[in-house]
Amino acid sequence: MRLTLHIWRQKGPKEPGRMVHYEARNANPDMSFLEMLDVLNEELTLKGEDPVAFDSDCREGICGMCGFMINGVAHGPRRGTTVCQLHMRKFKDGDVLYIEPWRARAFPVIKDLAVNRTAFDRIIAAGGYISVPAGSAPDGNTILIPKPVAEQAMDAAACIGCGACVAACPNASAALFTGAKIAHLGLLPQGQPERDQRVLKMVAHSTLEQFGSCTNIGECEAVCPKEIKLEVIARMNRDFIKAS
């Protein structure tokens, strides 16, 4: 496959950036998107040019490290996958692709396609945990939890913190991420003692990090690689109003 790539290049957070044109002449349909960029970087290195910087780790859609915009869509055109799970067979020979980093004030660009997402970590540190010492892990059947509740909690806990929801949202809102982290603890018995305190602290810190407000556009749900539903935002709002 031969592809035309327009990739955002930026040397640092305070440096100006621009789109740079590249030709990918040897893309194999069985490659992942990141493997295609690896091949491009090898070619750039051999030419003595600076390779394209991007985040990645497990490359199995688990860690949440990878992520950027492909033709204006977070993680690319395939639903329910991260960019490391996106394969080149989803594209056609001769396609023109525009590749950009997440765009949000709370996610400053580090270099090229890599952005600083530590704002998510600080939201978690504000209250996304259970602080009560519980000793060793109890038996799984010690606390009975209805199956529908357990499934809702697990669905919310699937969030990998990739940031696609923020990048896709016109307001750069972190409501889906924050709602998922609040919901998966708030649904379980272990999370009840700190439920009110948790939602107040995490929502306040999300605002402090300069994420925007949610206006229920739904772009976040559309691009979430774990297909987390908007219901977690409704639950967060309900808990916030009650706690306030």
Query: In the CATH hierarchy, which fold is given to the domain comprising 3-111?
Result: Ubiquitin-like (UB roll) (3.10.20)
Q: Which residues are CB-contacts of 102 (< 8 A; sequence separation ≥ 6)?
A: 67, 68, 69, 74, 115, 117, 163, 164, 166, 167
Q: What is the pLDDT of residue 139?
A: 78
Q: What is the pLDDT of residue 136?
A: 80
Q: What is the distance between the alpha carbons of residues 229 and 235, in angstroms, rounded to a whole number? A: 11
* Cβ proximity of 191 and 150 under 8 Å: no
Low-confidence residues in the chain, pLDDT < 70: 134
Each residue's pLDDT tens digit, 99-155? 999 999 999 999 999 999 999 999 999 999 988 776 787 777 788 899 999 999 999
Tell me how far CA of residue 81 lies from CA of 6, 78, 112, 193, 229, in angstroms: 22, 6, 22, 35, 15
Q: What is the pLDDT of residue 134?
A: 66
Determine phi and psi for 5, rounding to 5 degrees: -115, 130
Domain ranges of the chain: 3-111, 118-133+142-243
Output the CA torsion sign for 176, 181, 184, 189.
negative
Tokens linked to 5: 């790539």
Tokens linked to 63: 């860690």
Write down the CATH number for the domain with range 118-133+142-243: 1.10.1060.10
Q: Which residues are CB-contacts of 21 (< 8 A; sequence separation ≥ 6)?
A: 4, 5, 6
* Fold match, 3-111 / 118-133+142-243: no
